[in-house]
């Protein structure tokens, strides 16, 4: 465990393959971003299930890697300059993996920044809005008599779907013909909106055919299908 010995998290979730990139995650919309990217890239890695239902992200070992107590997080024993590096935040990890491998990101500098902006768009908008919508529609928020919060998040989610619909008009992927981390950033949240939160009718998903077609294409990719189940729920 030479490259991992400086990371307390590795003492709790011990690596069988310490020379591989270590993924600490759970198959949530944010967590699967990294597993999908790793499957698409083909980079060897080892996945560790962090049981968020058992509050394992709040253990001292996990907090030593991500003080914010959220999945996903990684340790790459072969980081910059050959030194190990630990990272958290799914968007930052997507950027790191794309730049490390030269995959899932256009080489042209202008297109690179265009890709990054859509990753940031997802991080700042799609995730927070869809997550709040799910809370007020499917989970504990259903018990709140005042429906203004639910309506607020439903309206904003509908507006954001319109942004995506426009972007995907005439495009196979977010960046045209090239599948990138921009697509990966969005797929888990769009899938959850429709399949897990069952909020398609609420947001009027039939008004967004480009989004639906993009989601169908994305879910049909073998690496995406694999990544959506990694790590296994314990």
Mark whether 118 and 211 lie in a shared domain: yes
Residue 194 to residue 205: CA distance in whole angstroms: 8
Predicted TM-score of the model (pTM): 0.96
Instruction: Return the number of other C-beta atoms located less than 10 Å from residue 53's C-beta.
Output: 8
pLDDT band at 1 (very low <50, low <70, confident <90, very high): very low
pLDDT band at 148 (very low <50, low <70, confident <90, very high): very high
Per-residue pLDDT tens over the stretch 81-93: 999 999 999 999 9
Q: Is residue 232 part of a domain?
A: no
User: Looking at residue 233, what DSSP letter applies?
Assistant: P
* pLDDT given at position 137: 95
Residue 184 to residue 182: CA distance in whole angstroms: 5
Counts of helices then strands in the chain (DSSP H, E): 11, 4
Per-residue pLDDT tens over the stretch 28-69: 999 999 999 999 999 999 999 999 999 999 999 999 999 999
**Could you tell me which of 225, 223, 220, 118 has the C-alpha nearest to residue 166?**
118
Q: Which residues pair with 173 in a beta bridge?
A: 176
Give the domain-ending residue among 76, 104, 132: 104
Mark whether 113 and 98 lie in a shared domain: no
Collapsing DSSP states into helix, strand and coil, what is residue 11? helix
Is the Cα dihedral 62, 66, 72, 76 positive or negative?
A: negative
Give the domain-ending residue among 104, 136, 164: 104
Mark whether 67 and 116 lie in a shared domain: no
Number of domains, the chain: 2
Q: Is residue 227 part of a domain?
A: no
Rg (CA), the chain: 18
**Could you tell me which of 169, 150, 171 has the C-alpha nearest to residue 161?**
169
* pLDDT given at position 2: 60
Q: Is residue 228 part of a domain?
A: no
User: What is the helix (H) or strand (E) element at residue 24, kind and residue range?
Assistant: strand 21-25
Mark whether 74 and 6 lie in a shared domain: yes
Domain that holds residue 179: 109-221
Mark whether 70 and 25 lie in a shared domain: yes
Mark whether 44 and 133 lie in a shared domain: no
Q: Which CATH number belongs to the domain containing residue 26 in this structure?
A: 3.40.30.10
Mark whether 156 and 91 lie in a shared domain: no
Give the domain-ending residue among 41, 69, 104: 104
Q: Is residue 233 part of a domain?
A: no
Which stretches of 26-77 are assigned E, i.e. beta strand? 45-49, 73-76
Mark whether 88 and 168 lie in a shared domain: no
Residue 13 to residue 65: CA distance in whole angstroms: 12
Helix axes 109-121, 181-191, angle to 10 degrees: 20
């Amino acid at each position: 465990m030479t490259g991992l010995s400086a990371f307390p998290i590795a003492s709790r979730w011990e690596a069988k393959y310490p020379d591989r990139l270590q993924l600490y995650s759970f198959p949530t919309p944010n967590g699967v971003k990294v597993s999908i990217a790793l499957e698409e890239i083909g980079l060897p890695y080892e996945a560790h299930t962090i049981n968020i239902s058992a509050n394992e992200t709040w253990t001292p070992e996990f907090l030593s890697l991500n003080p914010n107590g959220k999945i996903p997080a990684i340790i790459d024993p072969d980081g910059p300059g050959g030194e190990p590096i630990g990272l958290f935040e799914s968007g930052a990890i997507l950027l790191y993996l794309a730049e490390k491998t030269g995959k899932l990101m256009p080489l042209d500098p202008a297109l690179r920044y265009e890709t990054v902006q859509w990753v940031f768009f997802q991080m700042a908008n799609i995730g927070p809005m869809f997550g709040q919508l799910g809370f007020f529609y499917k989970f504990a928020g259903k018990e709140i008599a005042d429906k203004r919060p639910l309506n607020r998040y439903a309206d904003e989610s509908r507006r954001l779907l319109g942004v995506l619909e426009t972007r995907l008009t005439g495009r196979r992927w977010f960046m045209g013909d090239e599948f990138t981390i921009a697509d990966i950033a969005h797929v888990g949240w769009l899938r959850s909106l429709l399949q897990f939160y069952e909020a398609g009718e609420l947001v009027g998903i039939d008004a967004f055919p480009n989004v639906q077609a993009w989601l169908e294409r994305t879910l049909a990719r073998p690496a995406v299908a694999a990544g959506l189940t990694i790590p296994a729920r314990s």
